[in-house]
C-alpha cells in the first residue's frame, strides 16, 4: 500500500479514544448535564456521530467532484432534535466506529489524484480531502477534552462551531 496523505491508524484510533473515555461510566454519569443547555457525555458522543455522518457525506461529495457547497450543520438542534440524551452510548459508539471502518476502506482505494480533489465549504473556502480528515481527527480531540471536563463535573460548554 502506498503512503497515504492521512494517518488511517490515527483516524481509526479515535474510536478507542472515545471508548476509553467513557469506559466504566454509569448510565447516570453518561447522561448527566451541568445545565439544561450543556451537553452530557452521551450528547457529546451523539454530536461526534453527527459530525462523522456529515464528514462522511462531505468526503463523498468531494470525490464525486460536486460543485455544491459542502453543508454545514447546526450542532445543538441536531443533538436536541434527535433526543440524543436518550440514546445508548454503546449504540452511538458502534455507529461511530462502523463509519470509521467503512471510510478507512474507501481511503485505501483512492488514487493520488483522488487525494488532490477539493470541495468548497459553507464559508466559501476551498478544502482538500486530507484537510477534512485531519480536521475530523482534531475535532474528536477537542471533544475528548470536553468529556474529561464533564466527568470532573465541570461545565460541558462546547466550542462555537464544529463546521469545517
From 121, 162, 163, 164, residue interacting with Ni ion (rule: CB under 5 A): 162
Min dist CB 71 to Ni ion, Å, is 15
Min dist CB 65 to Ni ion, Å, is 27
CA atoms within 13 Å, Cβ hemisphere of 38: 17
Pick the piece of the chain touching Ni ion (CB under 5 A) from 2-10, 27-35, 92-100, 156-164.
156-164
Min dist CB 14 to Ni ion, Å, is 13
Of 66 and 82, which has the nearer Cβ to Ni ion?
Answer: 82
Min dist CB 159 to Ni ion, Å, is 6
Pick the piece of the chain touching Ni ion (CB under 5 A) from 59-67, 95-103, 114-122, 154-162.
154-162
Phi, then psi, of 113 in degrees rounded to 5? -65, -40
Q: What is the SS3 assignment for the chain?
A: CCCCCCCHHHHHHHHHHHHHHHCCCCHHHHHCCCCCCCCCHHHHHHHHHHHHHHHHHHHHHHHCCCCCECCCCCHHHHHHHCCHHHCCHHHHHHHHHHHHHHHHHHHHHCCHHHHCCEEECCCCCEEEHHHHHHHHHHHHHHHHHHHHHHHCCCCCCCCCCCCC
Of 117 and 136, which has the nearer Cβ to Ni ion?
Answer: 136
- Identify residues 10-69 at the interface with Ni ion (CB under 5 A): none
Pick the piece of the chain touching Ni ion (CB under 5 A) from 30-38, 63-71, 81-89, 155-163.
155-163
Residue nearest to Ni ion (CB): 162
Min dist CB 95 to Ni ion, Å, is 16
Which residues here bind Ni ion, judged by CB under 5 A?
A: 162
Amino acid at each position: 500500500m502506498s503512503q497515504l496523505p492521512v494517518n488511517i491508524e490515527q483516524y481509526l484510533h479515535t474510536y478507542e479514544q472515545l471508548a476509553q473515555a467513557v469506559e466504566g461510566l454509569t448510565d447516570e454519569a453518561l447522561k448527566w448535564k451541568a445545565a439544561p443547555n450543556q451537553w452530557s457525555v452521551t450528547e457529546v458522543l451523539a454530536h461526534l456521530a453527527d459530525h462523522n455522518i456529515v464528514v462522511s457525506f462531505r468526503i463523498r461529495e468531494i470525490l464525486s467532484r460536486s460543485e455544491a457547497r459542502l453543508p454545514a450543520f447546526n450542532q445543538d438542534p441536531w443533538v436536541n432534535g434527535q433526543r440524543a440524551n436518550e440514546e445508548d452510548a454503546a449504540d452511538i459508539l458502534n455507529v461511530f466506529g462502523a463509519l470509521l471502518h467503512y471510510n478507512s476502506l474507501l481511503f485505501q482505494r483512492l488514487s493520488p489524484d483522488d487525494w488532490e480533489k477539493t470541495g468548497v465549504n459553507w464559508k466559501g473556502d476551498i478544502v482538500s480531502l486530507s484537510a477534512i480528515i485531519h480536521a475530523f481527527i482534531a475535532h474528536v480531540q477537542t471533544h475528548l477534552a470536553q468529556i474529561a471536563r464533564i466527568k470532573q463535573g465541570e461545565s460541558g460548554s462546547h466550542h462555537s462551531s464544529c463546521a469545517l
